[in-house]
Amino acid sequence: MDARLNAFLERAESVLARLEPLLPAPRPTIDWSTTLAARWQRDGRTGYLMPLEVSLDIRLSDLIGVDKQRDQLGRNTHQFIHGLPANHALLWGSRGTGKSSLVRALLAEHAGAGLRLIEIERDHLADLPRVVEQLQKLPQRFILFCDDLSFEAGEGDYRVLKSVLDGSLEQAPD
> At CA 141, angle to CA 150 and CA 59, rounded to 5?
75
Angstrom distance (rounded) from CA 30 to CA 80: 22
Q: Percent of the chain beyond pLDDT 70?
A: 83
Domain 28-166 maps to which CATH number in 1.10.10, 3.40.720, 3.40.30, 3.40.50? 3.40.50
| Cα-to-chain-centroid distance, residue 119 | 4
The answer to whether 24 and 43 have CB atoms below 8 angstroms apart is yes
Report pLDDT for 90. 84
- The DSSP element (H or E) to which 91 belongs, if any, is none
- The DSSP element (H or E) to which 144 belongs, if any, is strand 141-145
Task: Tell me the pLDDT tens digit for each residue of 87-141.
Answer: 988 888 888 888 889 999 999 999 999 999 999 988 888 888 889 888 988 999 9
Backbone angles phi, psi at 40, to 5 degrees: -75, 125
> Is pLDDT of 166 > 80?
no
| pLDDT band per the 50, 70, 90 thresholds, residue 12 | confident
Domain boundaries, the chain: 28-166
